[in-house]
Amino acid sequence: MTRPLRVFLCHSSADKPAVRELYQKLRAEPWINPWLDEEELYPGQDWNLEIEKAVEAADAIIVCLSNGSITKEGYVQRELRIVLDYADYKPEGTLYLMPVRLEECEPPRRLRPWQYADYFEGNRERALQRLLVSLKRRAASLGLQTEAPAIKAEREPKPAEKKPVTNPPKLEIPAQSRITNQSITNKLTLSNGMEFMRIPAGKFLMGSTKENSLAHDDERPQHTVDIPYDYWMARYPVTNAQYSQFKKKDFGKGKENHPVVEVSWNDAMEYCNWLNKILHSEFRIPHLQLRLPTEAEWEKAARGTDGLEYPWGNAFDKNKCNTSEGGKGGTTSVGLYSPQGDSPYGCADMSGNVWEWTHSLKKAYPYNVNDGREGEKASGARVLRGGSFYSFGRFARCACRSDYDFGNFYDLICFRVVASPVLS
């Protein structure tokens, strides 16, 4: 079977920040379809009915426990009773109900027979890995696949058949996360500390509808774009510290982890070329290189497949990004609004903080990768995405497009890197 494992997250509303982080990490796994009320319930739906339907359809239940959820009266207790009632109908020994402690607490009596994971601050990665082991075992018992389709390995040519290398050095993966015929890694961490999140191949909604009052004309029409390959988007924009390894640049004390600004499109392209050259001996993924993302790659990484207005959902929230509404008055450290402001794939800072260069020339929609807009040597305005600390929320929407001349720079503009196929 090829459908994902359906996982229901039972929790108290007071524990939402930690549970939301767990949800994002589970959602980054392509074989898991987690269910969280704030993401799945829509205006006008019957709360009780929809939650009971979600529990009934779930393959596994994660019960998030804290002192507040255990002692609190109200809906969380009703939800817990529904979950436990469904667990009673499962055959003995079924990996179905998985308690997760968010802090030191004594699990309720009816949950004590099950082994729990401690998803404590500072210990969350280990707890996540243990939880994924159990979820994989549950998926296997249901005949569900937990490995993504393999990237076909290109046959190594015989010595006599080898051709001169004409493409830029390709991105390679360290041995511990190397892609094989059996699996595709969902996260890459390079030797310089840069993290990349996998964006699966497939279709997504690009642009804005004509009914969207916030949208500009250059975002229309909304249309479906198919990106037929997996790619890995940098989790954060390039920082001052990272850029200074390439070219010495002055920045204020304490801003090492702020996004680098005042870089032109040409500067960003040079940085990508430099990064390929110093990392090519560490990483090996056929046909991929480090470069600027196309605006289609950027937008899908920011909003997912369903046309979200912002990385976290459809309603603007000044607490999830650095825009003018937040009153910061300047850049903030990358990841300051993570995970609450992350995209569906776990990419941070895709709304606000700084505008980001893309590879694309500014052209009308619908987007077509082969119409010349991705020409590397063509001059003209290149597309910027994401808004900035100076922008209002309207300009920090995932579909919003701006542009700037490729040879100029500005103190609101940065960039992030993508590991993606070479553009022809």
Tell me which DSSP letter residue 66 carries: -
Q: What is the pTM of this model?
A: 0.60
Q: Give CA–CA dist 400/377, Å, rounded.
A: 25
Residue 171 has pLDDT above 60, yes or no: no
- How far is Cα 407 from Cα 14, in angstroms, rounded to an integer? 49
pLDDT band at 1 (very low <50, low <70, confident <90, very high): low
The model's confidence at residue 286, banded by pLDDT at 50, 70 and 90, is low
Q: How confident is the model at residue 175 (pLDDT cuts 50, 70, 90)?
A: very low
pLDDT band for 186, please (50, 70, 90 cuts): confident
Q: Is 56 exposed, middle or buried (0-12, 13-18, 19+ CB in 10 A)?
A: exposed
24-50: b or e for each residue (b if 16 or more CB lie within 10 Å)? bbbbbbbbbbbbbbebeeeeeeeeeee
Cα–Cα distance between 124 and 371 in angstroms, integer?
45
More confident: 78 or 344: 344
Q: Which residue has the tokens 């050259």?
A: 277
Q: Give the model's pLDDT for residue 187.
A: 83
The better pLDDT of the pair 423, 176 is held by 423
170 pLDDT tier (thresholds 50, 70, 90): very low
- Domains parsed from the chain with CATH numbers: 5-141 (3.40.50.10140), 175-421 (3.90.1580.10)
What is the model's pLDDT at position 162?
37
CA atoms within 13 A on the CB side of 409: 12
The mean of the pLDDT values for the chain is: 84
Question: Structure tokens of 147?
Answer: 């490995």
pLDDT greater at residue 55 or residue 211:
211
Please give the full DSSP string across 145-175, using - where no structure is assigned. --SPPPPPPPPPPPGGG-----SPPPP---G
Q: Give the per-residue pLDDT at 181.
A: 29
Band of the pLDDT at 109, cuts 50, 70, 90?
Answer: confident
Tens digit of each residue's pLDDT (9 = 90 or more) over 141-155: 988 887 644 333 333
pLDDT of residue 337: 96
Overall average pLDDT of the 90-115 stretch: 83
- For residue 275, give the nearest of 356, 192, 164 by alpha carbon: 192
Which of 72-86, 87-101, 325-339, 351-365 has the lowest average pLDDT? 72-86
Distance between CA atoms of 31 and 5, rounded to whole angstroms? 6
> pLDDT higher for 70 or 272?
272
168: pLDDT strictly greater than 80: no
What integer pLDDT is reported at residue 46 of this predicted model?
81
Mean pLDDT over 1-16 rounds to 84
